[in-house]
């Protein structure tokens, strides 16, 4: 299972929110590149970079930070937040993203998302399936949809989607543990999906459990920044898996 630390960006700074609520913002570092280099020094190979300003304004904003991290580290970056147009995608890939995550776009403008899958291929395009009570949430989690989570994933599997990042919003940033049952349900009903678990990771012991369920990767944010999981433990997990 891949370990994928998260860096969320607001105003060029590394922050975390709780349940996607911008009023809960905590700034952890003024310099995201410094954080990315620290991850790399501990054997991390992947990074989940989220442009929260972009998510709010519905177009890419923090691509300069993406470019900086991509050019000054060897991390493989998946980038998301506010990617709504072909030109947004072009900027993200030209700035060094290895993959992009599309969430709201896949609900609101499925034809655009499908065209990205066709153009770039399923290894480059991740489906963002963020949910509350098993219903998809959109627009930086500011809006609910009435779309059921698992059928949504299954429908996009038919379109060729391989990678899915699923965040249970009720868990995100709360440090109360991830949604094991939900992930188990997705993996059993959407066979062969490469599921990346996100939200709620709070202790090291949860990582082997997610791997056992069959998650292909897990995104860790606040647990690292609040020192609930040590970088040494993560380093050892990577070496031993």
pLDDT of residue 233: 95
pLDDT of residue 22: 87
Task: Identify the band that residue 89 occupies on the pLDDT scale cut at 50, 70 and 90.
Answer: very high
Would you say 186 and 193 are in contact if contact means Cβ atoms under 8 Å apart? Answer: yes
pTM: 0.94
Q: Taking residues 96-110, report their average pLDDT.
A: 94
Own/partner pairs for 237-240, CB < 8 Å, 24+ apart? 237/3, 237/204, 237/207, 237/208, 238/3, 238/43, 238/44, 238/45, 239/43
User: Among the options 53, 78, 130, 168, which is catalytic?
Assistant: 130
- Whether the pLDDT of residue 171 is over 90: the answer is no
pLDDT of residue 141: 52
pLDDT of residue 142: 56
pLDDT of residue 173: 67
**8 is annotated as an active-site residue:** yes
Structural domains of the chain sorted by starting position, each given as residue range(s) with its CATH number in brackets? 2-240 (3.20.20.70)
Q: Taking residues 179-190, report their average pLDDT.
A: 96
Interval 116-159: pLDDT, tens: 999 999 999 999 998 888 989 875 455 567 899 999 999 999 99
Residues 174-207, buried b or exposed e (16+ Cβ, 10 A)? ebeebbbebbbebbeebeebbbbbbbbbbebebb
**53 is annotated as an active-site residue:** no
DSSP state of 236: H
Interval 202-222: pLDDT, tens: 999 999 999 999 999 999 999
Pairing of strands 194-198, 163-167: parallel
Task: Identify the band that residue 82 occupies on the pLDDT scale cut at 50, 70 and 90.
Answer: confident
């Amino acid at each position: 299972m891949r370990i994928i630390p998260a860096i969320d960006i607001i105003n060029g700074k590394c922050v975390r929110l709780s349940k996607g609520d911008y009023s809960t913002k905590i700034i952890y570092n003024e310099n995201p590149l410094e954080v990315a280099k620290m991850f790399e020094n501990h054997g991390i190979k992947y990074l989940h970079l989220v442009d929260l300003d972009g998510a709010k304004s519905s177009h890419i904003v923090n691509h300069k930070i993406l470019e900086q991290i991509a050019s000054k580290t060897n991390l493989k970056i998946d980038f998301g937040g506010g990617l709504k147009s072909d030109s947004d995608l072009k900027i993200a890939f030209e700035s060094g993203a290895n993959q992009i995550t599309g969430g709201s776009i896949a609900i609101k403008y499925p034809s655009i998302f499908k065209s990205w899958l066709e153009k770039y291929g399923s290894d480059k395009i991740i489906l963002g399936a963020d949910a509350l009570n098993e219903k998809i949430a959109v627009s930086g989690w500011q809006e609910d949809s009435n779309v059921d989570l698992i059928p949504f994933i299954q429908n996009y599997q038919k379109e060729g989607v391989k990678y899915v990042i699923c965040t249970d919003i009720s868990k995100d940033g709360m440090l109360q543990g991830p949604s094991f049952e939900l992930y188990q349900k997705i993996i059993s009903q959407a066979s062969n999906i490469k599921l990346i678990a996100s939200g709620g990771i709070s202790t090291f012991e949860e990582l082997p459990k997610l791997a056992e369920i069959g998650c292909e990767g897990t995104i860790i944010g606040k647990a690292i920044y609040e020192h609930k999981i040590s970088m040494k433990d993560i380093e050892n997990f990577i070496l031993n898996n």
